[in-house]
């Protein structure tokens, strides 16, 4: 039997999940979980939450909430190893070894690092600088080849590939160069008209747990224009709304709206009402599964414990091998 290819992905435990996380990351995770050619590992990147200012009680809750979101969205512990990053301390050990083949200059120049420093000028910590190195360890510790993430994570994957190459060339390890597994929603735009939907930007997102009224309210606040013009806007609020229409109602519906924009004019109240319905239809089953899971805390505990045990076993083998190759064992 051919060895299965490994997949690893994670989402930071920094808040409630939104449509960007769902379409950009979770949909890809689900597709690969369903593919028998792959062995899938999905973690909550709880330690990565320490790279930006955070609240201890909230992190404690969020790491568990993301596990529940994963299960509610269809990640299945019978098919995937589902775990918390901090439960597998080998990730941190490997990250330290990887930091010995990574330069500070390279990390300082990453756009993701610069953005975060801009957001939190007083928190440019070593942990933040080391973010991509820990992420490389998350992936390479399982020799994962495919990583379902949104397009914003591409620079981080490039770092992981470079670390794999350097480690292999210098120490004779056998790390594969992981690649991004893209979905149709690899870039879900912000509701505010600029940038991507993100947990850290208020007003930019729709959460997976939002009810219809909340979705409507959030869409109502999204900026629009007069609804008519000679040219379709290529960026901004209207362009972003049309992208969401395409993602949730299909490209035909988008084309219909585009034609209206160029002729008789678009009614945004109607567009937003229909879009809200379509989004809610997709979220409803996830929300009912979530309600069931919330009533079964012991089951969630069991998933977390068993995931940690399975992941640790695999991670320990890699770290043992790397230690020997580095001259530490
Ligand atoms: P956030 O920016 O909201 O804090 P994270 O950085 O925790 O989100 O991202 C978790 C996963 O979700 C990553 O794979 C990321 O690429 C994906 N993701 C986040 N926002 C979006 C988006 N707007 N569109 C597509 N994918 C996204
Ligand atoms: N950096 C990712 C994010 O914020 C989260 C993450 C941490 C991750 N480790 C990972 C994603 C490993 C994929 C693989 O979105």
Q: Which ligand places an atom closest to the C-alpha of 13? A: 1
Q: How far apart are CA 209 and CA 220, in angstroms?
A: 18
In angstroms, the CA 160 to CA 143 distance is: 11
Query: Which ligand has the minimum distance to the alpha carbon of residue 202?
Result: 1
Strand order in the sheet with 179-181: 80-84, 38-45, 5-12, 146-148, 179-181
Give the residue, out of 25, 146, 153, 205, with the most ligand 1 atoms within 8 A of its beta carbon, to mutate for a pocket test. 25
Please indicate whether residue 288, judged by its CB atom, sits closer than 6 Å to ligand 1: no
Nearest to 163 by CA among 95, 71, 105: 95
DSSP 72-131: HHT--TTTEEEEEGGG-THHHHHHHHHHTTS-HHHHHT-HHHHHHHHH-TT---HHHHTH
Q: Look up tokens 């947990």; give the residue.
A: 199
Token code pair at residue 248 = 């949730």
Name the residue ranges covered by the structural domains of the chain: 5-186+296-326, 212-292
Three-state DSSP class for 285?
A: helix
**Residue minimizing CA distance to atom 21 of ligand 1:** 20
pLDDT at 3: 85
Ligand 2 environment, Cβ below 6 A: 8-12, 45, 48, 135, 138-139, 147, 149, 153, 156
Residue burial 118-133, b: 16+ Cβ < 10 Å; e: rest = eeeeeeebeebbbbbb
Closest residue by Cα to atom 22, ligand 1, is 20
Please state the CATH superfamily assignment of the domain spanning residues 5-186+296-326 in this structure: HUPs (3.40.50.620)
Say how far apart CA 218 and CA 205 lie, in whole Å: 8
Per-residue pLDDT of the chain (329 residues; tens, 9 = 90+): 678 999 999 999 988 899 999 999 999 999 999 999 999 999 999 999 999 999 999 999 999 999 999 999 999 999 999 999 999 999 999 999 999 999 999 999 999 999 999 999 999 999 999 999 999 999 999 999 999 998 999 999 999 999 999 999 999 999 999 999 988 888 999 999 999 999 888 999 999 999 999 999 999 999 999 999 999 999 999 999 999 999 999 999 999 999 999 999 999 999 999 999 999 999 999 999 999 999 999 999 999 999 999 999 999 999 999 999 999 98
What are the Cα distances from residue 35, in Å, to 6, 7, 79, 219?
11, 11, 10, 35
* E strand residue ranges, the chain: 5-12, 38-45, 80-84, 146-148, 179-181
CB 147 within 8 A of CB 7: yes
Q: Is the CB of 25 inside a 6 Å radius of any atom of ligand 1?
A: yes
Taking the C-alpha atoms of residue 212 and residue 72, their distance in angstroms, rounded to an integer, is 18
**What is the predicted pLDDT for the residue at 57?**
98
Task: For ligand 2, atom 6, name the residue with the nearest CA.
Answer: 10
Q: Which atom of ligand 1 is nearest to the CA of 196?
A: 23
**204-220 burial, b if ≥16 CB within 10 A, otherwise e?**
bbbbbbbeeeebbebbe
* Surface-to-core class of residue 233, CB atoms within 10 Å of its CB (0-12 exposed, 13-18 middle, 19+ buried): middle
Alpha-carbon dihedral sign for residues 309, 130, 9, 52: positive
């Amino acid at each position: 039997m051919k060895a299965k290819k490994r997949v690893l992905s994670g989402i930071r435990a920094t808040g409630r999940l939104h449509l960007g996380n769902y379409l950009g990351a979770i949909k890809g995770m689900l597709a690969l979980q369903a593919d028998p050619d792959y062995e899938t590992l999905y973690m909550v990147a709880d330690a990565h939450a320490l790279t930006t200012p955070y609240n201890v009680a909230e992190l404690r809750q969020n790491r568990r909430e993301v596990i529940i979101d994963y299960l509610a969205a269809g990640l299945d512990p019978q098919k995937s190893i589902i775990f918390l990053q901090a439960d597998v301390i080998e990730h941190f050990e490997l990250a330290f070894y990887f930091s010995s083949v990574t330069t500070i200059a390279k990390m300082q120049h990453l756009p993701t690092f610069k953005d975060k420093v801009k957001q939190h000028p007083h928190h440019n910590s070593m942990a933040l600088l080391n973010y991509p190195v820990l992420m490389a360890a998350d992936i390479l510790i399982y020799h994962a080849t495919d990583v379902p993430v949104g397009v914003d994570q591409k620079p981080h994957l490039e770092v992981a590939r470079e670390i794999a190459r350097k480690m292999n060339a210098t120490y004779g390890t056998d790390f594969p160069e992981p690649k991004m597994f893209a979905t149709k929603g690899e870039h879900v735009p912000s509701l505010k008209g600029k940038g991507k939907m993100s947990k850290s930007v208020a007003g930019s997102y729709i959460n997976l747990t939002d009810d219809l009224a909340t979705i409507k309210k959030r869409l109502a606040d999204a900026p629009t224009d007069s609804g008519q013009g000679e040219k379709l806007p290529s960026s901004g609020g209207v362009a972003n709304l049309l992208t969401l229409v395409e993602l949730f109602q299909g490209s035909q519906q988008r084309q219909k709206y585009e034609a209206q924009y160029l002729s008789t004019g678009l009614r945004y109240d109607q567009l937003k009402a229909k879009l809200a319905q379509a989004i809610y239809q997709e979220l409803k089953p996830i929300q009912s599964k979530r309600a069931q899971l919330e009533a079964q805390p012991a089951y969630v505990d069991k998933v977390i414990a068993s995931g940690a045990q399975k992941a640790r076993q695999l991670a320990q083998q890699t770290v043992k091998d790397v230690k020997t190759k580095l001259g530490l064992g």
